[in-house]
Structure 1
Amino acid sequence: MTESWLERWQEGRTGWHESEGNASLRKHWTASGTRVLVPLCGKTQDLIWLERQGNDVTGVELSELAVRAFFDENEIAYSCVEGALTAYRANDRAITIYCGDYFSFSDGPFDAYYDRGALVALPADIRRSYVEHSRSLLNADATKLIISLEYDESIATGPPFSVPASEILEYWSELCRVDAYDDIENGPPKFRDAGLAMMLEVIWRYP
């Protein structure tokens, strides 16, 4: 999984990246003035949007290429602090990205959590451990916004993977489904090429 993730960034195979950020985040996010965790953040513009809402934003990303691209492409000056994970801290904004293995990240607790592309990037045998680690980093009443995908895996396979509602609620029983829509047109081209006609993007939130 680790090598595959790094290879995708090195080869530019990042079809999940949204250059304008995620519209569902802007529609459904409610927290401000909180410490927000964004796992497997890549170079998402969502970090900037969350920070503009008054939040202190922390991303975690395995690929150094993605981390540096975020700061360079957005012309954000930063400094680095070495540690178990290298911390890239924006000089004049409340944004930090830790580069390294998410399972080695321990700088909690956080008041809010945003997962748009992390859970669906992971194969089934890793997802439970990922969620358990995420929970260990959050306050008990943390705000959560999680975006999952549902599609027919007999036609196409991930990543990003289809994660059914039953699995989401097994991990996060407190979540409520607040929205869903077909996003096949914005999904990876390989899905359409395989003949997939629908890919449902599902938005889950707490509270």
Structure 2
Amino acid sequence: MITNDFWLDRWQTGRIGFHQEGVNPRLIEFWPQLPKNSRVLVPLCGKSHDLIWLAEQGYQVTGVELSPLAVVQFLGDNDLSYETEQQGELKIHTIMGLPLRIIEGDYFHFQEQGFDACYDRAAMIAMPESKRDLYVDHTKARLKADPFVLLVALQHDGTPDTPPFAVNDDFIVNRWGNNIKKIVSENLVETNLQYKERGYDFFEESVWHITPPSAS
């Protein structure tokens, strides 16, 4: 069973292979020019450097992360000054000098709405099948009616009951809606030896967009 305690333990024991050093090249390549001060939501953000990159583009960035350790490491690793306030079950860390907030707590307790865009590199694929519908519905409820979404998904032939979870194309289209489009995919086994060494024959990373009608 994949619970909050599972992820908290992964951070405590340093088993965070999902964390990427540096900015994700998919983000740099496929994030569009949105209006300055657009509100960008980053669910299950960990200590990703992608948050800094998005904030430096001039967006109002909100990352949501369960693990207090991940939050502490993000703030410390980037030498950030911040102010913290408690709002119910969530801690709000507002970064000084950057348009960036880190919300510490359970993503499903986060209820803000009206975000212009969402960046999901490793959130949906961290959700077991039993929570995946809830995750997508909760995320869509946080967004405006015509948001921009950049979603990175995986399909693979590995263990089905441990993350990162494989998510098929039909689920993505059915749950995110017909406006979502796959823009690129790559079998990483063919380009990165580590996936072959880990026993995969197929490990496809795909990038998806929902583009607002005004930007089409």
Q: Pick the TM interval, shorter chain.
A: over 0.9
Structure 1 residues 161, 53: closer, same or farther in 2, change over 3 A?
same
Name the % identity.
38
Is 1:138 aligned with 2:140?
A: no
Is 1:197 aligned with 2:193?
A: no
Is 1:17 aligned with 2:19?
A: yes
Moved over 2 A (4+): 155-158, 182-187, 191-194
Quote how far apart the aligned CAs of 1:206 are.
1.4
* Aligned 8 A contact 1:40 1:62 in 2: yes
Is 1:178 aligned with 2:183?
A: yes
TM-score calculated relative to the size of structure 2: 0.89
CA distance in 1, matches of 2:206, 2:181: 10
Structure 1 residues 156, 101: closer, same or farther in 2, change over 3 A?
closer
**SS of the residue aligned with 2:151?**
strand
**Residue 62 of structure 1: aligned partner:** 66
- CA deviation map 1:104-135 (0-9, x unaligned): 10122100001000000010010000111111
CA distance in 1, matches of 2:161, 2:188: 16
Is 1:127 aligned with 2:127?
A: no
**SS of the residue aligned with 1:161?**
coil
**Residue 76 of structure 1: aligned partner:** 80
Q: Which runs of 5+ in 1 are unaligned?
A: none
- Which residue identity is paired with 1:50? L
* Aligned 8 A contact 2:8 2:67 in 1: yes
**Residue 168 of structure 1: aligned partner:** 172
Quote how far apart the aligned CAs of 1:156 are.
6.3
Is 1:147 aligned with 2:152?
A: yes
**SS of the residue aligned with 2:87?**
coil
Task: Determine which of 42, 45, 60 is the counterpart of 1:41.
Answer: 45
* Aligned 8 A contact 2:18 2:122 in 1: yes
- CA deviation map 1:34-63 (0-9, x unaligned): 100000000000001111111010000000
- CA deviation map 1:4-42 (0-9, x unaligned): 000000001000111112111110011242100000000
CA distance in 2, matches of 1:51, 1:178: 24
Quote how far apart the aligned CAs of 1:166 are.
0.6
- CA deviation map 1:165-203 (0-9, x unaligned): 01111111211101111234669x6x6455212311100
CA distance in 1, matches of 2:86, 2:120: 25
- Which residue identity is paired with 1:52? E
**Residue 8 of structure 2: aligned partner:** 6
Q: Which runs of 5+ in 2 are unaligned?
A: 212-216
TM-score calculated relative to the size of structure 1: 0.93
Q: C-alpha root-mean-square deviation of aligned residues, in Å?
A: 1.7
* Aligned 8 A contact 2:39 2:115 in 1: yes
